Amino acid sequence: MTTDEITDLLTEAYISEHETIMNYQTNAIVLDGVHAEEVKTSLEEDVQEELDHARMLGERLKQLDESPPGSAAFEASQHSLQPPEDTTDVQSVIDGVLEAEDNAIELYRSLHEAAAEANDPVTEDVAVTILADEEAHHTEFRGFKKQFPQD
């Protein structure tokens, strides 16, 4: 059985994936310098995965007889992922990605828990599938951060 908590979390996640897509795409375009290339390529690849996440969440909402939201429902929250003033500041983008992925991991854990409590195994499966991708993104950017030992 679905609950309001589940549809609220699916909606929140759907919006959050779109904000992530916008910020990863923007940073993949704007970063400059010798340390940027690997990060830019990774962000480009992750944009496609975040888009798949949004699609899965939207389709699950549709199955639950709810509509995914349009842009009127959008509220920005990823302040640390705005394109840096210094376009060679790859580290600030890496830190922003780690924060975004931490938040995503927390959100999909909450979704999984709510779905398990409500005996909704299909939403549980969506949550676990996406959670695995977000943990992989986090691991990848934790690796990038190790290339910058000064902090």
Which residues lie near Fe ion (CB under 5 A)? 17, 50, 53, 134, 137
Min separation Cβ 43 and Fe ion, Å: 10
The widest CA-to-CA distance across the chain, in whole angstroms, is: 51
Q: Would you say 32 or 106 has its CB closer to Fe ion?
A: 106
**For the chain, how big is the Rg over CA atoms in Å?**
16
Intra-chain end-to-end CA distance of the chain, in Å: 47
If the CB atoms of residues 8 and 32 are measured against Fe ion, the closer one turns out to be 8
Judged by CB, which is closer to Fe ion: 31, or 81?
81
Task: Show the tokens assigned to 63.
Answer: 């199955």
Tell me the closest approach of the beta carbon of residue 31 to Fe ion, in angstroms: 17
Closest distance between Fe ion and the C-beta of residue 105, in Å? 9
Pairwise CA distance, residues 81 & 136, whole Å: 19
